[in-house]
Chains A and B, each alone.
Chain A
Amino acid sequence: MTWAVVARKDFADARRSRSLWVLSALFLLLAVLFASIYAFVPEVSADPELDSVGLLGFLASPVALFVAVAALVVAYKSVAGETESGSGKLLLSLPNSRRDVLLGKVLGRTSVLALPVLVGLVAMLAVIFVGDVAFAPVDYVLFALVTLLFVAAYVALYVGISASTTSTSRAATLSVLVLVVLEFVWDFVTISVWFVLNGFRVPDGLFTADLAAMPELVAFLSTLPPSTAYMNAVSGVLQNSLTGAGAWYLSNWFGLVVLVLWAIVPAAIGYRRYSRADL
């Protein structure tokens, strides 16, 4: 079991890449910008009382999009790139199993992306104190933990894709496709399913996206993308209401389960293909 060795090597390598620094700067900018908008533009926050819980709720959506895209940049080449360039031969000539490589990559690249996210969250504290926003430390830590799980889920997804092919260009294409489907097209998918289930007639509440009017299956489908699962989990954690209304699989805590599944299933499929491939 040398996955920790691989992860450390991978982190040491990626740490020196320019893209990590660009990402860190971007996330820092994003976090401070959104925090400042929340703290200093009352029209936006719409909260009578500014507190860090409100801020984090406000922040979850841009964070989700940032992580979805940044994880792609950080991870799409992780395994396929090593295979394609030949550095994978160094990695696997040593007593590292292919499972060690995959686990190490997930861990290493998760750390790479977790670093700027944590730096951003810490930097935001400055805005919170300057802007006189009430600070709830426990919620802040919980938000950070859920965000780290979300980072791990997206990184593992892209590492899984990267492991399923030996070509970086194919890994890039697949990753972008998956990103677009999960982040931008998914609403259309659920609406289509709803439309079909409704006997090809426009159901009531389709255009208002009225969750209450949705059949449970459709509602469940809509909660599946990692970002939605993350938002659900965040609002559950921040509002201390993990249960929520409706079926158990529609509750907020199920968002955590969905995130864990995203962190495991695609990587497992990628591992299966990787473990059988001629390198």
Chain B
Amino acid sequence: MGSAIEVTGLTKHFGEVVALDGVDLAVEEGEIFGFLGPNGAGKSTTIDTLLDFVRPTAGSARVLGMDAQTESLAIRRRVGVLPDAYRVYDRLTGRQHVQFAIDSKDTDDDPLALLERVGIAEAADRKAGGYSKGMRQRLVLAMALVGDPDLLILDEPSTGLDPNGAREMRRLIREEADRGATVFFSSHILEQVEAVCDRVAILNEGRIVTVDTIDGLRDTAGSGTQLSIRVDEVPEGVVPSIEVLDGVRSVTASGTTVTVRVDDGSKTAILDVLESAGAEVLDFSTAETSLEELFAQFTTEPDPSATATPNGERAHADADADTPEVAR
């Protein structure tokens, strides 16, 4: 199996701003690959580079074995694209849009059949300027499906779609993958990726922070525990002294709550540090880390104003209850 997308050391500067900083990525043929990251992480810049909208400052990108810059036209003949921040032609009908894609690709698809597939056949002869955001998204998806592309590049495909539309989008993505197409799609929302992807890459601030299967990510996520400790007052300088403890991955403090992610290790030690710094522990809870939190952790810098909300199973305990962790 070759690589459908192969990105090596991709770097892009826009003036002083570093949008991409040495991105390496390989998407195998036939897989559904999720490209995750918060808004502004560089997902669209990466995609723009694959399509030669943007030229890299350093590094290179290959798509379907061809160079993204010198062989862009040949690439675009075999790729279907749903870009982000696009605009449709307000004065052209849905059918005319799809027909334009068909003529550009020189295929003999039936525009109406494609519009049928994305569920807007009844609006085929209306001007796209009057379409809702969701209908436009479906229209451009229909354009992307023209010519049964070997690779679909979908930038935030669920934008503007209601939950039902998002589900249909996932169904279409699976259908295309079953046909043998590679699907590469970006999202800033984990759950959309979670449901369909074979593998995901997480991009943050222009760097790939992890590439893994969803199961692999779950394993990583499941191994950690999150402690939320409510105190009367967070003592100054206590965060660094917790960070150096064994097994502690991250510490954040917000208001009167200290949140600590630990692999295992002694939770008592953490409480000891807090109390010896002069804080009174009022409340205390632990939770398994969810995939959501893991994503948040990969993509947020330690920020004292932000705490992850545990939504895994809560093991709640009062500070003066006789759970072993709190026993002093």
Cα separation A5 to B53 with both chains bound (whole Å): 20
User: Which among B95-103, B169-177, B209-217, B242-250 touches the partner chain?
Assistant: B95-103
Chain A residues closer than 8 Å to B54, beta-carbon distance: 278-279
Nearest opposing residue in chain B for A96, CB measure: B104
Q: Are A17 and B91 in contact (CB under 8 A)?
A: yes
> Within residues 140 to 183 of chain B, which ones have a CB less than 8 A from any CB in chain A?
140, 143-144
Q: In A1-38, which residues have CB < 8 Å from any B CB? A: 2, 5-6, 8-9, 12-13, 16-17
Instruction: Tell yes or no: A93 within 8 A of B by CB.
Output: yes
Nearest A residue (CB) for B139: A90
Q: Which one, A50-58, A81-89, A111-119, is touching chain B?
A: A81-89
13 A-B residue pairs with Cβ-Cβ distance under 8 Å, sorted by A, are A5-B104, A13-B89, A13-B92, A86-B83, A87-B89, A89-B85, A90-B86, A93-B83, A95-B77, A95-B104, A96-B104, A97-B72, A278-B55
| Contact flags B23-55 to A (C-beta < 8 A → 1, else 0) | 000000000000000000000000010011111
Q: Is B86 within 8 A of A13, CB to CB?
A: no
Q: Tell me the bound Cα distance from A184 to B104 in angstroms.
A: 41
Residue of A86, A94, A97, A278 most packed against chain B (CB within 10 A): A94
Could you tell me how many residues of chain B have their Cβ less than 8 Å away from some Cβ of chain A? 33
B73 at interface, CB cutoff 8 A: yes
Instruction: Provide the bound-state CA to CA distance between A16 and B88, in Å.
Output: 15
B81 interface residue per 8 A CB criterion: yes
Residue of chain B at shortest CB distance from A10: B89
Docked-complex contact B81 and A93, CB < 8 angstroms: yes
Q: Hey, which chain A residues are within 8 Å of B100, CB to CB?
A: 5, 9, 94
Q: How far is the CB of B134 from chain A (nearest CB, A)?
A: 17
> A93–B76 contact, CB under 8 A?
yes
B85 contacts across to A, CB distance below 8 A? 86, 89
Q: Which residues of A contact B77 (CB under 8 A)?
A: 95
A141 interface residue (CB < 8 Å to B)? no
Q: Point out residues on A near B: beta carbons under 8 Å.
A: 2, 5-6, 8-9, 12-13, 16-17, 85-87, 89-90, 92-97, 276, 278-279
B12 to chain A, nearest CB (A): 9
- Write the residues of chain B forming the contact surface with A, with a CB cutoff of 8 angstroms: 14, 48, 51-55, 72-74, 76-77, 79, 81, 83, 85-89, 91-92, 96-97, 100-101, 103-106, 140, 143-144
Contact (Cβ within 8 A) A89 B104: no
Please tell me which one of the listed residues A8, A16, A85, A97 contacts residue B73 in the complex, with CB atoms under 8 A apart.
Answer: A97
Closest A residue to B85 by beta carbon equals: A86
Do residues B104 and A16 form an inter-chain contact, with CB atoms below 8 A?
Answer: no
Contact A13 B53 (CB under 8 A): no
Q: Are A89 and B53 in contact (CB under 8 A)?
A: yes
Given known A95-B105, A97-B73, contact A13–B91 (CB-CB < 8 A): yes
CA distance A3 to B26 in the complex (A): 34
Question: B51 near A93 (CB under 8 angstroms)?
Answer: yes
A97 to B81, CA, bound (A): 15
Q: Which residue of B lies closest to A2 (CB)?
A: B104
Of B87, B101, B103, the residue contacting A86 (CB under 8 A) is: B87
* A86→B44 CA distance, assembly (Å): 13
- Say yes or no: A87-B76 contact (C-beta < 8 A), given A9-B92, A278-B55: no
Considering only CB atoms, which chain A residue lies closest to B155 in the complex?
A89
* B residues near A95, Cβ cutoff 8 Å: 73-74, 76-77, 104-105
Q: Nearest Cβ distance between residue A57 and chain B, in whole angstroms? A: 38
CB of B88 within 8 A of CB of A87, answer yes
Bound CA–CA A85/B53 (angstroms): 14
A100 CB to nearest chain B CB (Å): 9
Q: With A95-B104, A95-B105, A96-B104 in contact, do A12 and B81 touch (Cβ < 8 Å)?
A: no
